Chains A and B, each alone.
Chain A
Amino acid sequence: MKPTVSRADLAPTAYAWQIRATGLKVRAGRKRMAVDGLDLSLGTGVHGLLGPNGAGKTTLIRALATVLRPAGGELELLGQAVGALGEHRALRRRIGYLPQEFGYYKRFTVREFVEYMAWLKEVPTADIPGAVQRAVERVGLADRADERMKALSGGMVRRAGIAQAIVNDPAVLLLDEPTVGLDPAQRLRLRELLQELGTDTCVVVSTHLVEDVAAACTDVVLFAEGRLVFQGTPGELAAAGGPEHDGDSPLERGYSALLVDPARTRGAW
């Protein structure tokens, strides 16, 4: 029987924030600076990354996943500076990442896919079958675990993606639009899972759905044109909006109140 809590889990950390960015700049493509001078500190909890399309959410998440290298500023993950050329093996072992459009091998079964990702994440070989079973159960795919990925619906594929993200018990979990393609019941289940994970993990969820944030997040990060606009609790976001602002719920009104200037000056939407 594996002990559920080890000494390492209880040891105090040497860092105050799991994610800390100062003046962070990240390029999307060759020219455009999608994240431009971002100051952000995120600790344990579920952080909803909210912003209009093209705000740089995906670019930020990819930089946090160490896929993109910062073009400027500082980025510290779990107390370790990211950016210098070199391998971040130890750091990457503790990161879980679900890309917005994640590719997979269609011939793999769910279990093989999650196993393969566990192997890539250097989960010890002896622990892989158990870790995979646990991850698959947590996302509610245990009964479909031995079906091929190509036979799954869009929502199930996304849940398989979440399973691979949590298979290594990450300390930083980055989910880019995890609720896309999920039906309402699955969405509720995902929110529960996020809340559960958020008790001891730094979870960053990018979304454009304000109601996801209200239900599952302890903290809202409002992000527009590569910069931080607002960081606070969902309650504080709701308080920012008044009856004169657009929106059907207090959170939506708060969202439009805070984003009204940058969004409107560009016209269109």
Chain B
Amino acid sequence: MNVEHASARLIDGYARGGTDLAADELWALEAHLEGCRVCRDRLSDAVTAGAPAVAALTEAVWSDLEHHIATAPQAPPRRLLARLSAWTTPAMTPWLAMVLAVTLLALLLDLTGPGSGVGSGSGRVSLMLLLAPVLPVCGVAASWSRALDPAYELTSSTPRAGLQLVLRRTASVLAVVIPALLAGGWATGVTAAQWLLPCLAFTSATLALGGVIGVSRAAAVLVAAWAAVVVAPTLATSRTAVALGTDGMPVWGAVLALGVAVVIVRRGAYTTPGAHR
């Protein structure tokens, strides 16, 4: 692009104070100077050469400012904690710690003997397998809850509040829970497929139901349902429930798909999570 620059006459006139320039010329020149580095440099040369009074003034202003600029606090770069808070909130930390502790406890009980697993062989019940589906749900509940998150009111008024933020926090919960369960599964010999699918299905169901009644309430409902339908009968009869066997897998897959579909369809419902209360 061919840019037309200001003439030497205009620049020199402006450097001398602009009194001999017409108002429209002055206006056009200033508008041009704002966007043109070349002409600003020319003006600066013209000032040094032809207007010592102005040059002295700018020099004085600079030396005055330099002191302030040197002492002004510089905004430090963002720290790790601030970056991490994009994925998890401090309110979730104790819950994640609890989830890890429960996993560890279940693992210990599974390893050390007949505490939970009454009988042996196929009749033996893995406590970890029983708890795996509901462990992430507890973390997810804490991630988006009016009662547990002190900054809930502030967060819910921001543009980022919504499905994206809920998913980020869910992802961080899963990032903590799944490696722990993987390690536990490897130690006890439970295959990953057996717990991973129910685990993800429960998480997606919590989010789907959470769009209607609130995430923490949905988590409570699902944990209670899990305890009543699967955990209690299993512990009572000492046999792994059908739901956790290989026959249950298609059902869990369907629940997962349904949950994800509901979340996608109702993605707008997470913007104002308090609205349905």
Chains A and B belong together in one complex:
yes
| A interface list, Cβ under 8 A from B | 65-69, 85-90, 92-93, 95, 97, 99, 101-108, 111-112, 115-117, 119-122, 128-130, 132-133, 142, 145, 164
Which bracket fits the contact residues of B? Answer: 35 or more
Across-interface contacts of B89 in A (CB, < 8 A): 105
Q: How far is the CA of A21 from the CA of B51 in the complex (A)?
A: 58
Report the nearest A residue to B90, measured CB to CB: A105
Report the nearest A residue to B274, measured CB to CB: A67
Known A103-B151, A112-B85: A117·B158 in contact at CB below 8 Å: yes
Across-interface contacts of A132 in B (CB, < 8 A): 75
Q: Do B73 and A133 touch across chains, with their CB atoms under 8 A apart?
A: yes
Q: Is B198 an interface residue (CB 8 A)?
A: no
Q: Do A85 and B82 touch across chains, with their CB atoms under 8 A apart?
A: no
Across-interface contacts of A89 in B (CB, < 8 A): 159, 162
Q: Is B253 an interface residue (CB 8 A)?
A: no
Q: How far is the CA of A95 from the CA of B160 in the complex (A)?
A: 13
Report the nearest A residue to B266, measured CB to CB: A85
Q: Is B76 an interface residue (CB 8 A)?
A: yes
Chain B window 238-277, contacts with chain A (Cβ cutoff 8 Å), 1 for yes, 0 for no:
0000000000000000000000000000001101101100
Across-interface contacts of A88 in B (CB, < 8 A): 159, 271
Known A87-B268, A129-B77: A103·B152 in contact at CB below 8 Å: yes
Across-interface contacts of B74 in A (CB, < 8 A): 133
Q: Do B76 and A129 touch across chains, with their CB atoms under 8 A apart?
A: yes
Across-interface contacts of A111 in B (CB, < 8 A): 76
Known A108-B90, A112-B81: A121·B159 in contact at CB below 8 Å: yes
Across-interface contacts of A145 in B (CB, < 8 A): 73
Min CB distance B268 to A, Å, is 5
Known A67-B272, A112-B82: A105·B159 in contact at CB below 8 Å: no
Q: Do A85 and B154 touch across chains, with their CB atoms under 8 A apart?
A: no
Known A97-B157, A116-B82, A119-B86: A68·B149 in contact at CB below 8 Å: no
Across-interface contacts of A115 in B (CB, < 8 A): 78, 82
| B interface list, Cβ under 8 A from A | 73-79, 81-82, 85-86, 89-91, 149-162, 165, 268-269, 271-272, 274-275
Min CB distance B210 to A, Å, is 16
Known contacts A88-B271, A119-B85, A133-B75; 7 additional CB pairs below 8 A are A68-B274, A69-B272, A103-B150, A105-B91, A112-B79, A128-B78, A130-B75
Report the nearest A residue to B153, measured CB to CB: A99
Interface of B is mostly: loop
Q: Do B272 and A102 touch across chains, with their CB atoms under 8 A apart?
A: no
Report the nearest B residue to A87, measured CB to CB: B271
- In the assembled complex, 7 residue pairs joining A and B whose CB atoms fall closer than 8 Å, in A order, are A67-B274, A87-B271, A99-B153, A103-B149, A108-B85, A108-B90, A120-B154
Across-interface contacts of B151 in A (CB, < 8 A): 102-105
Q: How far is the CA of A146 from the CA of B170 in the complex (A)?
A: 30
Min CB distance A243 to B, Å, is 43
Min CB distance A197 to B, Å, is 18
Which of B82, B85, B150, B156 has the most A CB atoms < 10 Å from its CB?
Answer: B82
Q: Do A120 and B158 touch across chains, with their CB atoms under 8 A apart?
A: yes
Q: Do A99 and B154 touch across chains, with their CB atoms under 8 A apart?
A: yes
Across-interface contacts of B162 in A (CB, < 8 A): 87, 89
Q: How far is the CA of A104 from the CA of B155 in the complex (A)?
A: 10
Min CB distance A2 to B, Å, is 13
Report the nearest B residue to A69, measured CB to CB: B275
Q: Do A105 and B150 touch across chains, with their CB atoms under 8 A apart?
A: yes
Min CB distance A148 to B, Å, is 11
Q: How far is the CA of A221 from the CA of B158 in the complex (A)?
A: 26
Q: How far is the CA of A248 from the CA of B90 in the complex (A)?
A: 47
Across-interface contacts of A120 in B (CB, < 8 A): 154-155, 158-161, 165
Report the nearest B residue to A130, measured CB to CB: B75
Across-interface contacts of A119 in B (CB, < 8 A): 82, 85-86, 160
